[in-house]
Structure 1
Amino acid sequence: MSDDITHTEDEAPKVRKTTAEWMNQLTAEQFYVTRQSGTERPFTGPHWDNKLVGRYDCVCCEAPLFMSDTKFDAGCGWPSFFQSVHPESIRELEDKSHGMTRTEIRCRQCDAHLGHVFPDGPKPTGLRYCLNGHAMTFVHGGSRPSKSGEDT
């Protein structure tokens, strides 16, 4: 991802840092995944097999993204969820890379690349948010945030 990415007013990230600041904050793998739209190899990243109760937050800005009660084993080797904490916590973009059309998901707060969403998940949503584990931190016992962003 380039620092000069163009955003509309509605899509402009609230957390903005220079490439050097992101590189200083993140590990090499986290930077590759979140700031360069990379993908970790399946079954290698953190959280793909985590079964603890808690919340998954953005590794870049700590925005709440997903709760453990929406996580499921999709068998794909990446953490998978059927619903985000709030629809406004992530944004979707069309991704035509690698010779296919997919829906990329990014953190709405800082524009970190998180992964992709597919229409092959379980009920009740039928969605599979397939995330890179390096794009998230896990907050053990973390609660579901309210609409205003405060933990409840």
Structure 2
Amino acid sequence: MTDKIIKTPEQWQQSLTDEQFRVTRQAHTERPFTGIYWDETSAGSYRCICCKTPLFSSETKFDAGCGWPSFYASVDKAAVLEKRDISHGMVRTEVVCAQCDAHLGHLFDDGPEPSGLRYCINSASLDLAKETL
């Protein structure tokens, strides 16, 4: 992995929409069933909206019925970091981009096999690079 990408909030605001900034830099959550990728079925690579690091593959995407894009594995364990999140009166595992620390979503242990994991990710934190045939 290359050096960590560090920018000021003002620099991030220049390259992101308001919603992308709120989600990735301020750890907000988009409303369920509103993001552009929650029901996307195209093949491709889901990359970090901030730094374009590949994070998830459409091959591991599944419909969890929760209203956010869900994946049972990341493309590389080193691509995402897990952090303890005790906000909102809950204990959860936050998922962030290892390259730029963008907030992506949360990790739960109620996903399908083979991992049993559900990476519940905000569409606003992702950019889909669709595969071409």
Q: Within the alignment, does 1:19 sit opposite 2:9 as a pair?
A: yes
- In structure 2, how many angstroms separate the alpha carbons of the residues matched to 1:51 and 1:45? 14
Q: Pick the structure with greater CA Rg.
A: 1
Q: Which runs of 4+ in 1 moved over 6 A?
A: none
What is the distance in 2 between the residues matched to 1:122 and 1:19?
A: 37
> How far, CA to CA, are the matches of 2:114 and 2:105 in structure 1?
21
Q: CA shift at 1:46, angstroms?
A: 1.4
**One of 24, 43, 47 as aligned partner of 2:37:** 47
1:133-152 counterparts in 2 under 5 A?
133-141=123-131
In structure 1, runs of 5+ residues without a counterpart are 1-12, 143-152
Deviations 1:93-151 (A, max 9, x none): 00000000000000000000000000000000000000000000000018xxxxxxxxx
Among residues 95, 105, 114, which one is paired with 2:95 in the alignment? 105
SS in 2 for 1:103: strand
73, 77, 88: which one aligns with 2:63: 73
Count residues with an aligned counterpart.
130
Q: Identity across aligned pairs (percent)? A: 57
Where do 5+ consecutive residues of structure 2 fail to align? none
User: 2:118 aligned with 1:128, yes or no?
Assistant: yes
CA shift, 1:91, in A, is: 0.2
Task: Give the TM-score of the pair, scaled to structure 1.
Answer: 0.84
Query: Residue type of the partner of 1:85?
Result: V
CA–CA distance in structure 2, aligned partners of residues 66 and 133 of structure 1: 12
Query: Could you say which residue in structure 1 is the equivalent of 2:26?
Result: 36
